[in-house]
Structure 1
Amino acid sequence: MAAPSTPADLSAALVLEPVAVLDWLVILPVAWCIAIGAILMMVRPRTGLQPLIAIAALGVLVGLDAALLWHVAQDGPVTMVMGRWLPPFGIAFTVDLAGALFALTAAVAALAGAVAAVADINDSGRRYGFYPFLMLLMAGVSGAFLTGDVFNLYVWFEVLLISSFGLLVLGSERGQIDGAVKYGFLNLVATTLFLIATGYLYGIFGTLNMADIARKADGLQATAPLVTLIALFTFAFCMKAAAFPVNFWLPASYHTPRIVVSALFAGLLTKVGIYALIRIDVMLFPVEREELSLVIAVVGALTMITGALGALAQTDTRRLLGYLVISGIGAMLAGIAIGGPGGIGGAIFYALHSILVMTALYLAAGIAARLGGGFSLGLLGGLYRRHALFAALSLMLFFAVSGLPPFSGFWPKVMLVKAALDIGAWWLAAALLLTGFLTMIATGRLFLFAYWRPAGEGAALDDWALPAVVLLPLLVLTALSVLIGLFPETLLGLVQNAALTLNDPSAYLHSVFPAGSAP
């Protein structure tokens, strides 16, 4: 007769306690986007129903992300581990203030884009999957912001990259195919570098859990080539974020798709690269980031200035805005290089501002093209007389992207300049101020040519009116920029706490490895 078996002690390997109801908010944004994307695929022939489902679903996503931000702000970082396996064996989704802030802001921008797409995406675009691609894109973006595992971060990058390919070629025009090739090639190179660096990371640490890596990094500084490792990650993420000198792909591709797709790309995709750079460089390898800080600062300054100069040289509004996206990436890199609560807080604040404002600027460019007959400054003119409210909203956005008060771009610029001066990097502070001045000239030139200058006699002005569904997203995003500029205290406090958590990740580590549970 066989001896009775001894019951296994599962507490050493599995989470045995039931998951708290609020903790489900960690994974719900990703699961929700995937589920709605599948539903939209099933109703793809019903083109009139798709936008209603997608807009309602993205409204729910904003609510979920807002609830998650509230939960994290009240209770600190939250972790959920897949399959109940204790970390570092189970794949962890860990959310702190930085991840929750990025996720909520991205959801707001996506909701604005979905509403604007009602007028911009025709029945053919809906049948070819615009709304399912949008939900899949948000699944990838949300997953990247919420994951606590480096390989899982790579997976979500792949998800958003695949969906962005679908959105980029929607319409199958020659220019779109050309833009997709440039966009795809550079992003695939960056993704390959990311995967190589991830394999290198696993070879050194034997784990890909972010919290586990953060607590082991100090003990390996003398024996492992961590500077080489972080250099690989930094280069890969800088390519994805369109930093100098690998930024040429962005203005060559972002002007080719439908304008609402360009708006979503400008608001979301490069910011995922910046977020990943902050997460890896600042939280996991702060000492190695300090060693590379001068290189990152120089790259940031060159990215800012070349982006602003590129915007000055453009006569196509979409290309001009593409260079402004690049310029903003340089400001975020400057914050990462400066480090500390001031620099990292400024980088996060600038990224959140850029998500909202760049999305709105591309939507404004689309409206201007419909009112004025094209995207070329040679064609545009008289937009102020045609629609004064639209011109006023555009002017506010131009002030915001230039970093002028009282708009959202002012406060992160102040934070970054002060942080640069505090560490004696006067040249970096000067680059930030010079970039703001050049951006103001570029946007002022755009306003004078396209809005203030009378329309030429031969200009073919479109009689297309501005329905509420077109103007509403622009109005909401501009209002958010104004509100953040006038009442920055709440967001400023959240951003500063997020920066403190990244610089001192003890609360993040405790969320993943509660006292006594670490292997």
Structure 2
Amino acid sequence: MTDFHFVSLAPLAIIMPILGAAAAFMMVRRPKAQIAVTVTAIVLTLILDIALLAHVWDTGAVAVFLGGWEAPIGITLVVDRFSALMLVVSSAIVLAVLLYASAQGVAESDGSGPVSIFHPTYLILVAGVSNAFLAGDLFNLYVGFEILLTASYVLLTLGGTGPRVRAGVTYVVVSVVSSIVFLIAIAMIYGATGTVNMADLAIKLAELNPALQQVLHIMLLVGFGIKAAVFPLSFWLPDSYPTAPAPVTAVFAGLLTKVGVYALVRTETLLFPGDRVNTLLMIVALLTMIVGILGALAQTDIKRVLSFTLVSHIGYMIFGLGLSNVVGLGATIFYVVHHITLQTSLFLVTGLIEFRAGTASTTRLGSMLKLSPLIAVLYLIPALNLGGIPPFSGFLGKLGLMQAGVGQGSGLAMLLVVGSVVTSLLTLLVMMRIWARVFWRKVEDVEDPPSRLVEELERVETGRRPLRTTNAGLALPTLGLVGLGVAFTAVAGPLYDLSDQAAEDMLVRTPYIEAVLGPEAASQGSLDLEVLTDYGIEMPADSSDSPGEFRSVGDSNGHNSSESDDETGGQP
């Protein structure tokens, strides 16, 4: 295996958070030391993730075989461009949210739960997310889901209040149903093929009866669709997320549904390639966008508005996946990265609003611009970004998806393009309505403003010190995420290049299969030229000799992602 001495460190992305959780749990009576341990574990994980991304950026997929047991027998972790990118973004997000939560005292006050529980559980959540992104077999992916879901149950019910417990029950029931469907699908797949290794399944699933393939395919889509909160499997999310503390809601909204999207992408590109369910995916994408944003229009609580917009924008990601081409999938990857950062930052800003005003209800808020111009700016920038205003990354991501839809040219794809434009406009309407009511409207025009808001505004008007200030510990992590969302605009070119390379890798499949099983298996798992052409990938004239080589149709530079198998080990 190439650079074994370095890439073999990939399991530390899972191990370090687990060891940090154990250390944090032992420091029950030392809150500051517990915070320091948690932050250190996540920082080290982030550094490792960045190094892994830098390594695979040029080389492509690399596999790590735990215990020396090679695939398909042993446990395999696979680091490719997509998984490494998701690892980096998720680690950056959880670090920012952890700093915010520590400053807010979510683990120490207001009945949110004992510090001995919050930090270890948070690290276990990080370990579960990392394991899901690195998993090279379906059962290990299932284990990753269960780790992060178990941790999320605890975080969702911190403090044990009635609304949180009720929301937690709904979340638990839906998650258990999703896990059961996924586990049954794994059992059926193993019974039919004798393996759960995803690279091995990429070859063996194609040998099954088409009807059985369809059943297994749909079961995985249902299981992952619940986790990703696609319509009509998204009913649980708006009632579950808003009840949790702001930092918990932020990390849930930013990450957990995206793990489900990640699993859907792997299913559609590696396990069941082609256009088998593209029509279904595009219909689901359209309904998810429209139903989600219509739900947001009917809400008055900012957290619930953001929860419905979260569902709505999952539809954009499914849209790109359903197009089954390099441009669409590349835009989906770009949009996933953008949306994780943006959605998390908006929930953190909502936490700042609650912290200063005592509520997140738009019917009771006003004059927040006068109370805190900083919060107003921190809300406005990601709100415009989410609405797709140029030149922000939200506009660039949506533009890429629309270009892919127009390029595909089918009637359904064009309908989705129209639906995405309508959804974007309605999203902007929803976000600006919050701005007008919460920040621009005068508090005198509010029927029942919270006493904290009124008192704070009186103190500001009379020049006295506010009772609560937006301290640096709360503002800096939020500012960092808002800045990261803006930075995606500046680095959109390289990020889109990486996203397109990741999309090409996944659609061709041979780089992933070769990293796990070797060149011979990669040749067996190579797709027909017609399928690759439909994906927007053009094979070179001598592709019969080098099945791993390809280039995207329409690449103005006409370059290959790899020059020869000898130079890059067959990675595209």
TM-score (norm 1): 0.93
Give the structure 1 partner of residue 394 of structure 2: 409
Provide, for residues 128-183 of structure 1, a one-character-per-residue CA deviation record: whole Å limited to 9, x for no partner: 41111110001000000011111100011000000000101110000000000111
Where does 1:75-474 land on structure 2 (aligned, <5 Å)? 75-120=59-104, 121-123=106-108, 125-220=113-208, 222=209, 225-287=212-274, 290-424=275-409, 425-456=413-444, 459=449, 460=451, 461=453, 462=456, 463-474=467-478
Q: Which amino acid aligns with 1:23?
A: V
Return the match for 1:500 from 490, 493, 504: 504
User: Does the 8 A contact of 1:47 with 1:126 survive in 2?
Assistant: no
Q: Tell me by how many angstroms 1:217 deviates.
A: 3.2
How far, CA to CA, are the matches of 1:107 and 1:126 in structure 2? 24
How far, CA to CA, are the matches of 2:11 and 2:325 in structure 1? 30
Q: Tell me by how many angstroms 1:514 deviates.
A: 2.5
Q: Tell me by how many angstroms 1:19 deviates.
A: 7.4
Relative distance call for 1:19 and 1:74 in structure 2 (3 A) is closer
Give the structure 1 partner of residue 494 of structure 2: 490
How far, CA to CA, are the matches of 1:517 and 1:434 in structure 2? 45
Give the structure 2 partner of residue 3 of structure 1: none
Return the match for 1:66 from 50, 69, 73: 50
Instruction: Identify which range, 74-83 or 106-115, moves more after superposition.
Output: 74-83
Give the structure 2 partner of residue 51 of structure 1: 35
How far, CA to CA, are the matches of 2:149 and 2:80 in structure 1? 24
Q: Tell me by how many angstroms 1:516 deviates.
A: 6.1
How far, CA to CA, are the matches of 2:154 and 2:436 in structure 1? 36
Give the structure 1 partner of residue 563 of structure 2: none
User: Does the 8 A contact of 1:317 with 1:375 survive in 2?
Assistant: yes
Q: Tell me by how many angstroms 1:74 deviates.
A: 2.7
User: Does the 8 A contact of 2:513 with 2:521 survive in 1?
Assistant: no
Provide, for residues 111-133 of structure 1, a one-character-per-residue CA deviation record: whole Å limited to 9, x for no partner: 01100001331425343411111
Q: Tell me by how many angstroms 1:477 deviates.
A: 0.8
Q: Which amino acid aligns with 1:156?
A: G
Q: Which amino acid aligns with 2:31?
A: T
Q: Which amino acid aligns with 2:485?
A: S
How far, CA to CA, are the matches of 1:281 and 1:234 in structure 2? 9
Say which SS state the counterpart of residue 166 (structure 2) adopts.
Answer: helix
Give the structure 2 partner of residue 481 of structure 1: 485
User: Does the 8 A contact of 2:253 with 2:310 survive in 1?
Assistant: yes
Give the structure 2 partner of residue 9 of structure 1: none
How far, CA to CA, are the matches of 1:122 and 1:226 in structure 2? 47
Q: Tell me by how many angstroms 1:25 deviates.
A: 3.1
How far, CA to CA, are the matches of 1:499 and 1:74 in structure 2? 14
Say which SS state the counterpart of residue 9 (structure 2) adopts.
Answer: helix
How far, CA to CA, are the matches of 1:390 and 1:197 in structure 2? 46
How far, CA to CA, are the matches of 1:134 and 1:234 in structure 2? 28
Q: Tell me by how many angstroms 1:224 deviates.
A: 5.8
Give 5+ residue unaligned stretches, structure 1: 1-16
Q: Tell me by how many angstroms 1:51 deviates.
A: 1.7
How far, CA to CA, are the matches of 1:85 and 1:404 in structure 2? 50
Say which SS state the counterpart of residue 158 (structure 1) adopts.
Answer: helix
User: Does the 8 A contact of 1:32 with 1:61 survive in 2?
Assistant: yes
User: Does the 8 A contact of 1:81 with 1:90 survive in 2?
Assistant: yes
How far, CA to CA, are the matches of 2:193 and 2:386 in structure 1? 41
Give the structure 2 partner of residue 10 of structure 1: none
User: Does the 8 A contact of 1:410 with 1:485 survive in 2?
Assistant: no
Q: Tell me by how many angstroms 1:94 deviates.
A: 0.7
Relative distance call for 1:517 and 1:183 in structure 2 (3 A) is closer
How far, CA to CA, are the matches of 2:148 and 2:79 in structure 1? 19
Q: Tell me by how many angstroms 1:247 deviates.
A: 1.1
Q: Tell me by how many angstroms 1:502 deviates.
A: 0.6
Relative distance call for 1:472 and 1:308 in structure 2 (3 A) is same
Return the match for 1:32 from 3, 13, 16: 16
Aligned length: 500
Q: Which amino acid aligns with 2:508?
A: D
User: Does the 8 A contact of 1:26 with 1:79 survive in 2?
Assistant: no
User: Does the 8 A contact of 2:107 with 2:118 survive in 1?
Assistant: no
Q: Which amino acid aligns with 2:420?
A: L
Q: Which amino acid aligns with 2:90?
A: A
User: Does the 8 A contact of 1:301 with 1:428 survive in 2?
Assistant: yes
Provide, for residues 220-258 of structure 1, a one-character-per-residue CA deviation record: whole Å limited to 9, x for no partner: 3x5661111111111111111111112111000101111
How far, CA to CA, are the matches of 1:110 and 1:369 in structure 2? 21
How far, CA to CA, are the matches of 1:475 and 1:307 in structure 2? 27
User: Does the 8 A contact of 2:125 with 2:148 survive in 1?
Assistant: yes
User: Does the 8 A contact of 2:385 with 2:394 survive in 1?
Assistant: yes
Relative distance call for 1:252 and 1:68 in structure 2 (3 A) is same
Say which SS state the counterpart of residue 514 (structure 2) adopts.
Answer: helix
Give 5+ residue unaligned stretches, structure 2: 457-466, 525-572
Q: Tell me by how many angstroms 1:515 deviates.
A: 3.7
Say which SS state the counterpart of residue 207 (structure 1) adopts.
Answer: coil
How far, CA to CA, are the matches of 1:33 and 1:81 in structure 2? 20
Runs of 4+ in 1 over 4 A off after TM superposition: 516-519
User: Does the 8 A contact of 1:408 with 1:484 survive in 2?
Assistant: yes
User: Does the 8 A contact of 1:398 with 1:440 survive in 2?
Assistant: yes
User: Does the 8 A contact of 1:133 with 1:166 survive in 2?
Assistant: yes
Q: Which amino acid aligns with 1:348?
A: I
How far, CA to CA, are the matches of 1:60 and 1:409 in structure 2? 30
Provide, for residues 401-443 of structure 1, a one-character-per-residue CA deviation record: whole Å limited to 9, x for no partner: 1122222212211111111111121101011111101100000
Once the two structures are aligned, what percentage of the paired residues are identical? 37
User: Does the 8 A contact of 1:25 with 1:67 survive in 2?
Assistant: no
How far, CA to CA, are the matches of 1:362 and 1:507 in structure 2? 37
How far, CA to CA, are the matches of 1:386 and 1:339 in structure 2? 48
Provide, for residues 470-499 of structure 1, a one-character-per-residue CA deviation record: whole Å limited to 9, x for no partner: 001111111111111133111111101000
User: Does the 8 A contact of 2:24 with 2:116 survive in 1?
Assistant: no
Relative distance call for 1:25 and 1:492 in structure 2 (3 A) is farther
Q: Which amino acid aligns with 1:491?
A: L
